[in-house]
Structure 1
Amino acid sequence: MLVDDAVALVPSIPGRRALLGLAGAPAAGKSTLARRLVAGVNDRLGAGTAAYVPMDGFHLSNAQLDRLRLRDRKGAPETFDVDGYVALLGRLRSERTRPVYAPDFDRRLDEPVAAGLVVPAGTALVVTEGNYLADDGPGWGQVRDLLDELWYVETPRRLRERRLLRRHVRGGRTEAEARAFIASSERLNARRVELTRPFCTRVVSPRDP
């Protein structure tokens, strides 16, 4: 089981924290799997052993996307603060004496939320997930070096796009607007992510926690 493998990553050396990354196309089920892994590790080893920190907290704000004229490409690599994410991973890996605060993403607001998450000092494993963890574009190439393992979450395209349609409609788009955004942006992002599959440690399914 994947939980067994996540438990095995929990380090026994004092002062060291392990980082497990989950990469995959939009709506592949990365966040669902990450939460299940964290819950499974905590059930086995005790509450607070593992924590979940998604990459989505590093979305640029809508104000910045408008300034950069990138609102219609939200979710593309250039619409994230990759340097901030890399810096956070470095802190998560090394800081074990103080809590580490991290931004979250509010889908209802469609905006990042500063310090929405906290990783307590005693946390031994952090599970992080995002589309571009295995990407080699500017800034992104540093992410892999900070992760102990990087798993690729694979899900059929039709299922992913059904999820994306529901997600965007719940977020306020009409069905026509959602379908247009999927066709013009989400598919481009998914194709880029799919090219990074060979750089991951292994390929997993969100149905097998």
Structure 2
Amino acid sequence: MHQVVIRSDHITEIVDRVLANCKNVLPKRRYIISLAGIPGAGKSTLSSLVAQQLNQTVKTIVLPQDGFHLYRWQLNDMPDSEEAIRRRGAPFTFNAKAFVQLISQLNDPVYSQHIINAPSFDHKLKDPIEDDIHIEPDVQVIIIEGNYVSLRDPDWRDIHQYVDESWFIQTDIEVVRDRIIKRHLAAGIANNLEEATERADGSDLANAKYILAHSAPADVVIVTP
């Protein structure tokens, strides 16, 4: 496989690539991209910028993995609920089967002519909100964004068969660590710098190392300068 490398600040180059590639499938079906990366890599920011520019030409939507977090009550029902809650955000704390099932519907003729509803995630409630994202039939490009959308693990690996191109955003892990600490403080996930740092150095960086070790090679590597 020939892997393409693009800088994350070259948004126009990324957008032009999508527009050139999606011509081969539109309007017969949607063009679907997966965007993976470690926590704090900038996936949400990049996907939003790319979608914003693409929407000038083709209707585009971002479908985040976050809506498929298990509910807190589901974590509490796990055999080791304390560990599940502590590790929330790890692959096993998501409903990967439901995520893949929804992705499989995006180009299925049975579903694609109707509105497909997907969950979002409310960071204040710390739980998903069902049917909060509406994928209209006229959506042409979908960017599936999340930490684990390129994993080789069971269920997660099935995403690959439904996407036209896989992307991976590559960011220095120390830069990511600093972003995660600031994010935890801003979102109220941590009460102070010490707690935010402990969380970042624990579960978050453990997840990051797992992603780097267990993700399949991407078609496009997007490098943060």
TM-score, length basis structure 1: 0.91
Aligned to 1:187: 205
Is the alpha carbon distance of 1:178 and 1:66 closer, same or farther for their aligned partners in structure 2, counting shifts above 3 Å?
Answer: farther
Q: Larger C-alpha radius of gyration, 1 or 2? A: 2
Contact 1:73 1:79 in 2 (8 A): yes
> What's the CA shift string for 1:134-175, capped at 9, x where partnerless?
111121110111111111101111221111112211232122
Deviation at 1:202, TM superposition (A): 1.8
Deviation at 1:67, TM superposition (A): 2.2
Q: Structure 1 residue 99 and structure 2 residue 112: aligned?
A: no
Query: What is the identity percentage for the equivalent residue pairs of Structure 1 and Structure 2?
Result: 29
**Residue number among 76, 85, 93 corresponding to 2:90 in the alignment:** 76
How many matched pairs? Answer: 204
SS at structure 1 position matched to 2:46: helix
Which segment is superposed worse, 138-147 or 23-32? 138-147
TM-score, length basis structure 2: 0.85
Structure 1 segment 100-139 matched on structure 2, within 5 A:
100-139=116-155
Query: AA paired with 1:91?
Result: Q
Following the alignment from structure 1 to structure 2, what is the Cα–Cα distance between the partners of residues 170 and 76? 21
Following the alignment from structure 2 to structure 1, what is the Cα–Cα distance between the partners of residues 159 and 77? 26
Is the alpha carbon distance of 1:19 and 1:134 closer, same or farther for their aligned partners in structure 2, counting shifts above 3 Å?
Answer: same
Query: AA paired with 1:4?
Result: D
List alignment gaps of at least 5 residues for structure 1. none
Following the alignment from structure 1 to structure 2, what is the Cα–Cα distance between the partners of residues 167 and 93? 35
Following the alignment from structure 2 to structure 1, what is the Cα–Cα distance between the partners of residues 60 and 76? 36
Following the alignment from structure 1 to structure 2, what is the Cα–Cα distance between the partners of residues 97 and 35? 25
Contact 2:34 2:165 in 1 (8 A): yes
SS at structure 2 position matched to 1:93: coil
Aligned to 1:201: 219
Following the alignment from structure 1 to structure 2, what is the Cα–Cα distance between the partners of residues 132 and 76? 9
